[in-house]
Amino acid sequence: MGNNPLITLKRVGQYEAIPFDEISLEHFIPAVEFGLQQAQERLEAIRNNPATPDFENTFRAMSELSQVLDNAPSIYYNLMSSESDDEFKQLAQQIAPMMSQFSSKMISDPALFERVKYVYDHLEEMQLDGEQRRLVDKQYKGFIRNGALLSDEKKEKLQKLDMEMSQLSPQFMQNVLGSTNAWEKHITDENIIAGIPVNALKAASYRAKQKGYESGWLFNLQYPSVIPVLSYCRNREFREEISLAYNSRAFQDKFDNQELLKKIAVMRYQRAQMLGYNTHADFVLEERMAHTPQNVFDFLERLYAASIAPAKEELEELRKFARETDGIEDIKQWDTAYYSEKLKQQKYAFDTEDLRPYFRMENVIEGAYKVAEKLYGIKFNEKTDIPLYHKDVKVYEVTEETGEYIGLLYVDLFPRETKRGGAWMTNYQDQGFAYGKEFKPHVAIVANLTPSTEETPSLLNLDEVTTVFHEFGHALHGLLSKVKLVSLSSPNVYWDFVELPSQIMENWVTEKETLSLFAWHYQTGELIPDELIEKIKKAQTFRAGSGSLRQLMLGFLDMAWHAVDPRGIEDVYKYELEAIARTSLLEPAEGRNVSCSFSHIFAGGYASGYYSYKWAEVLDADAFEIFKENGLFDRTSAQSFRENILAKGNTEDPMELFVKFRGRQPDPDALLRRVGLK
């Protein structure tokens, strides 16, 4: 064990970076086992401590059980998502139940709960600061929400349930990834790929060569491959084929998730029932800004009422356009992106592909850094002497204007078969004080953007630029955390608050002042012209009702699985169709299924929380109006956002934090104003 870097807690250089180049597959299980033993010994010392329970000997002691256990599983799960093969992924089937069993036993331990309850009951007598009181309240409720008040028999049942559940979500994600990687199509006929932009075809050609084909184009189900086909390919049959393949991942194939997701939904419901909640949604939303399922439904219904009529009008306009353009009488789901792009070009003389030459990936990243520098006075310096987990990753030292070190940012943006789809931000190390020292945040943003080819650098579309700024907003939340207790650090906040720092950053993307910082043509060096910026702005509200309805569909579907008793659900396909019927304006295509690849809710943290994207859009639209009023890079407004939102983590109620920044509670109409629905 002496040479296991996960056990020795080896760190590299002045930044105490993770030695990724020294960590191997065989290190994880021994490290987790060592950490669990260490934590168990320290738990015994806490529960048998004869001293009167107080914050230090109970709460701080419980939050500092084992640095090894804090680190090894976190590193494992981060790498499982971003850089892992099948053998690596299989470790989750061992690590997840080990961690779940320990967590369940700890949080259901009556002796530990008595100590926690004593401090909670004597809170007014103890001289604790705001953060300490918040942690006491949070952990006390955590014990209750994890079965502390149950009988021994029910506690044992809950532990078994948690252990089994811990294995299901990783399996769900592995199935989605397996199904995604299983489909690819090699094309040699130019007629099939007619209309697809040159840059996308170069990427497909490069992909084919990498896979050993002498010629032609290779398409797969990664986002940068799918979207150009759906948006531009004139061959309707190919659009249909790739659309059905993408939207039927892990459904009715060898990676089928139907039985697995039903099992996850039922077990979540059973767990909530054991703890005295009506549904899993009731359990989850108790610790959210929305608080109750009814509040979520009311929120979704309000947006639905504002979105449905415009969405129907937009669809009729699209139907008419497709009919007049190509004689298409029966528009299908694989036609909407294609004709939307053509209609946008006609209405605004604007093709999103016109933007790619101005959005070289390296410039976009630098642009995000410049925005952060102008807002918060922080700087990003690339480092080449820090170990990486993959050659595509870059790492940056983040500092204040004064030179004071803030933390590390890892950037991993391109697709590969060892990485799951989508985009996300994650923490390798949270900010805060623990084990007698201060830990600086080490965060990462991970995505699957258009890669470079032999002929062109990575050139992004507008959605991908927005994705970069979105995930960078999450990264800023983690980097600019300024709390004392690690477990309360950013971005460990309520789930319907966590998207505010990310989504507010998206607002800067299409502003002229921002684009002037980074949007130069990759060949000529010409700054993006004002006419093009104006077209972007005009097109921002294009099909806003349809876009809103798509997000609401996912929110309703999430609640359909989690705000009910799911035990009677047998047919996943039929149940989903019924759940999303009001938001589906086109006839559903046979074989498509969202639920089976809905990793956000079945393998991520968004169960009963997908509504939070729209909830946070309300928060960010309202918050951004301050910058529209005071100046896009107004330092006073930015400093207030940093101090009241980004730095605070979970040290205060999120609504109170928002009110401190905005001066009042959020205005729901701010979002409708922004997208032109009010």
Give the C-alpha separation, 186 to 189, whole Å.
10
What is the CA 649 to chain-centroid distance, rounded?
17
- Token digits of residue 319: 């139907």
Give the C-alpha separation, 177 to 505, whole Å.
29
- Token digits of residue 416: 């590969």
**554, burial (CB in 10 Å: exposed 0-12, middle 13-18, buried 19+):** buried
What Å distances lie between residue 626 and 87, 104, 513, 663, 672, CA to CA? 50, 45, 16, 11, 16
Give the C-alpha separation, 101 to 287, whole Å.
23
- Token digits of residue 445: 């943003």
Task: Look up residue 411 and give its DSSP letter.
Answer: E
Annotation says 506 is catalytic: no
Give the C-alpha separation, 374 to 377, whole Å.
6
Give the C-alpha separation, 637 to 469, whole Å.
19
| One-letter amino acid of 115 | R
CB of 443 within 8 A of CB of 613? no
Which distant-in-sequence residues (6+ apart) come within 8 Å of 470 by Cβ? 423, 502, 503, 505, 506
DSSP per position, 44-97: HHHHT--SPP-IIIIIIHHHTS-HHHHHHHHHHHHHHHHS--HHHHHTHHHHHH
Packing angle of the helix pair 293-326, 333-348 (nearest 10 deg) = 70
Strand partners, 383: 395
Which entry of 131, 314, 341, 471 is annotated as an active-site residue? 471
CB of 360 within 8 A of CB of 465? no
| Percent helix / strand / coil, the chain, rounded to 5 | 60, 10, 35
- Token digits of residue 267: 């077990």
- Token digits of residue 131: 């953060």
**202, burial (CB in 10 Å: exposed 0-12, middle 13-18, buried 19+):** middle
Name the one residue in this structure whose structure tokens are 């078994």: 160
Strand partners, 333: none
**Quick one: which of 202, 234, 236, 466 has its CA closest to 330?**
236
Strands 394-400 and 405-412: antiparallel
Packing angle of the helix pair 152-182, 258-274 (nearest 10 deg) = 160
Give the C-alpha separation, 23 to 19, whole Å.
7
CB of 19 within 8 A of CB of 5? yes
Give the C-alpha separation, 155 to 107, whole Å.
10
Residues annotated as part of the active site: 471
